[in-house]
Each structure stands twice: as C-alpha cells, then as structure tokens.
Amino acid sequence: MPKASFLQLISFLKAFFTDESNREKIELFIDRSVNENPWFSETLVRHAMQSIEEQFFSVQAWEEFYAKHPVQAAESKNVGIVLAGNLPAVGLHDVLMVLASGHQASLKLSSQDKALMQLYVLAMQSFDTAVPVSIIERLQGMEAVIATGSDFSGGYFAHYFSTIPHIIRKNRSSLAVLKGNETQEDFKGLAQDIFTYYGLGCRNVSTIAVPVSYDLTPLFDELTKETWVLDHSKYSNNFQYHRTLFLLNQIPHFDLGNLLVTENDDFVSPVGVLYVHRYLDEASLQTWIQEREEKIQCKVGLEIGFGQSQHPALDDFADGIDTYDFLINLS
C-alpha cells in the first residue's frame, strides 16, 4: 500500500475499534477467541487488544516510523506469514509491517488464535476490500515468508522455505538484570514484565540476573501481590505441577504462593517459574548473556526500563531482526 493509503488504514482501524456501532461484532469475536484457546481469558484478550490499539493504531507513531524508514519496496511481492498462537493477535505487527512496506500479506493462522486475526482482517477489508491482506490455508507461491514457531517447527520452516527469502523465529524469552540500586517502582514494573499474559510471551521476563549477594526479599514482597494469575486454572495448574516436581525432586526454591523462584542457568523457565542467575561481576554477566544471546528477546534493566517489556515501539523488532528492512530489500 502507498504510505498515504496505509496511514488512512491505521486511522480507520483506530476508529473502527472505538466505534460503538461495531461493539456487538467485536464482542462476538472476543467470545470466539476466549473459546478457541484455553489460555485466552477475556481479561487477557481485552488487554492485548488495548495494547494493539495504543501501540499500532496511532497515525503519529507510524508517521514517526516512516520518518526513520522513508523507503517502501520498489515492487510489491506476496509475503506469507505463519502466525504464532501463544498470545492474542501476536502476529499483527508482522502483518502491518508487510502492508506498510508495500507488499501483499498472505496469512496462515494458528489454530489457537484464529478469531482475533479474522477480526482484524475483517476490519481492514471494511476500510477497503482492495487492502492486500488475505487468510489462506496453504502457503503456495509465496515470494518471501515470515514464520514464527517453536524451536522444532522453526527448523522445519527453515528447511521448507530455504529457497525463498525468509525470517524464521524460534523460542525466545526475556531477561531482567538487577544491579542492587532498584526502587520499589522498579520492582512493580518488573512484576508486570513477569506476569503480564501469564508469562506466555517472548517479551515476558523468565530469568533475572542478580549479584551474588543480592537480597531478593524486597522483590519477592512485590511479586507476591500478583495473586490474580492464580484465578486462571491453567496458570494455577502449571504452578501446582512444578511445585510438586520441585518438592519431589528436592530442588531448592522459594515458593511465593503464586510463583516459584529457583536458581537455574537454563534460560527459558516454565509458566509459573522464575529462574535466577547470580553473577560475580560485570564481565561474568556479559559473558553469560552473550552465551544465551540467541534466546533473549528483551534485556530489561539494560536496554529497556522495568515495566516496559510489554510496550514495544513499532521498530522494536522481534529477535533483533529489522523486519521492515528485510521487506523493502526483497528481490
């Protein structure tokens, strides 16, 4: 889409999702979303939609993005997008980037997140049926692909799409680095980085790195306040399951009542568990991070502030790969 048309689309989407005449339709798709994925509580879905509205449906944000990325693709190509389903409408950023760059978006939806993506496509086509976005069953005839999945499926995607330009995303999680000068407000923000979306997203903090002598008690005092996560049966079941495993296997841990905290150098922790790495000095911390770079999505406390992991800017690209640059340079 030309820039002017794309910006009009963004303005339309902002209005679409705040227009009361669309409320009944939107609520129907929210209900479908809650029913198709047991992790998608109504609260989680509404939170995701609100974040999308604030972060992605701002004409000003896109104008600022275009100011930094003024070039569109010289030729429109058909870009296939294999969408993940761990969070509601988690692949919408990729869809918008494809359209913003001047390409066509062909979406292969996750079975775990169909309803919301169908809603957003419907909204786009309500603006103009000629908007180059479609939902397909098979990725055939694609000229490029962006695929998000697990470590296992990522290997399959890399092989399957090896003959065309591609971005393949695998499992990642986020890290928080504490130095010893954190405030209570920092801990409140970190709690959001850990618990938002029940810890299911790649931008959720699953591991914290702290100095050897760091006292975790002030952080624990804040984390224990987030009891709302236990209202979700799947989170509660995960928490209880790992609590039992830790007890049976005599794994040293802290039980916060809503989160298990254990020292572990593995990076991606299970839902309901937070890993702790204790570092000796700055040099050893940097070495430890470098060894896990391919698994790290965000570095809270280093590259972004506490409480900011779930508020990415348009150009906070997943896996550190500039999606827009990839798209405008397709040949």
Residue 136 and residue 127 in contact, taking contact as beta carbons nearer than 8 Å: no
Helices marked H in the chain: 3-16, 23-36, 42-56, 59-68, 92-101, 115-127, 151-160, 184-195, 217-223, 233-248, 282-291, 323-328
Query: Could you report the average pLDDT of every consecutive run of 10 residues in the chain (331 residues)?
Result: 96 96 96 95 94 95 96 95 93 96 96 96 96 93 91 82 91 95 97 96 96 96 97 96 97 97 92 97 96 94 94 89 95 74
Give the helix/strand (H/E) hosting 261: strand 260-263
Domains of the chain: 3-171 (3.40.605.10), 173-300 (3.40.309.10)
Which position has the token pair 């869809």? 95
The backbone torsions φ and ψ at residue 84, rounded to the nearest 5 degrees and listed phi first, read -80, 170
What is the reported pLDDT for 312?
A: 87
Which position has the token pair 């506490």? 306
Report the C-alpha gap between 8 and 12 in whole angstroms: 6
What is the reported pLDDT for 320?
A: 87
Count of H helices and E strands in the chain?
A: 12, 11
Q: Tally Cβ neighbours within 10 Å of residue 37.
A: 23
Start-to-end Cα distance in the chain = 18
Q: Which of 237, 255, 233 is nearest to 246 (CA)?
A: 255
Report the C-alpha gap between 56 and 181 in whole angstroms: 34
What is the reported pLDDT for 298?
A: 94
Report the C-alpha gap between 281 and 272 in whole angstroms: 28
Q: Which of 250, 245, 254, 278 is nearest to 264 (CA)?
A: 278
Report the C-alpha gap between 87 and 113 in whole angstroms: 8
What is the reported pLDDT for 149?
A: 83
CA 124, 125, 126, 127 torsion-angle sign: positive
Report the C-alpha gap between 172 and 180 in whole angstroms: 26
What is the pTM for the complete model shown?
0.93
Report the C-alpha gap between 226 and 224 in whole angstroms: 5
Collapsed DSSP state (helix, strand, coil) of residue 96: helix
Collapsed DSSP state (helix, strand, coil) of residue 113: coil
Q: Tally Cβ neighbours within 10 Å of residue 194.
A: 25
Residue 302 and residue 314 in contact, taking contact as beta carbons nearer than 8 Å: no
CA 151, 156, 162, 167 torsion-angle sign: negative
